Amino acid sequence: MDDLRASLVSVLGHGDFPLLMGAIVRLVAQGEPVALDRLADEAGLPLDRVESWLHGQPGTDWAEDGRLLGFGLTQRRTPHRFRVGNRVLYAFCAADTLFFPPMLGEKASVESTCPSTGQRIGVELTPEAVTSVDPATAVVSQASLHFDMTDIRANSCDHGHFFASLDAAAEWRRDHPDGAVRPIGEYFTVGLAASRELGWAAA
């Protein structure tokens, strides 16, 4: 597990990414489109750097008025529903949902569908732990962390899913030999440790 933690910290800790993603998640989670000047203030970064990075990512979700709908965590529907408080949000990939409760300091629930079996998958989380997984055999996939950062959503996020079991993930594993499939609780533990190193979660 330590190798995955180290890899996550290495990739996610690059440049402005930790400050920017922490701010994106906190503001998008409020449920309203986010003005970029507000995001820049929250992240403590120059507005031009924030604008350049987000507009350089083809997968960024935008409102018609140019405000941000999401990156990683989004207000636009995806296959991975993320409920926190009374707000329903969505995630680019399954693994992302396991990072958000520690980042927000709030309990959350996740609902997705196994792409192989069509089975509903539900996960309940606190900022410190996974408290429920249904079915208990469910796993989460993580594409190789050695990917082209010019389009994070297409090259990494779109390959992250919840599967009903390890067997249900067999085809994904064949198609992604450099990726990983892990029990949801195990991945959460790794992600929590990485989040603490990145300053996203309380120590």
Structure tokens at 172: 């994904």
Given the residues 3, 41, 65, 93, the one annotated as active site: 93
Given the residues 3, 61, 96, 114, the one annotated as active site: 96
Q: CB 172: neighbour CB atoms within 10 A? A: 19
Contacts of 136 (CB under 8 A, 6+ apart): none
114 counts as catalytic? no
DSSP per-residue letters across the chain: -HHHHHHHHHHHTSTTHHHHHHHHHHHHTTSS-B-HHHHHHHHTS-HHHHHHHHHT-TT-EE-TTS-EEEESEESS--SEEEEETTEEEEESSHHHHHHHHHHHTS-EEEEEE-TTT--EEEEEE-SS-EEEEESTT-EEEE--S---GGGHHHHTGGG--EESSTGGGHHHHHH-TTSEEEEHHHHHHHHHHHHHHHTSS--
What is the Cα–Cα distance from 101 to 87, expressed in whole angstroms?
13
Given the residues 37, 41, 148, 157, the one annotated as active site: 157
Q: Which residues are catalytic?
A: 93, 96, 157
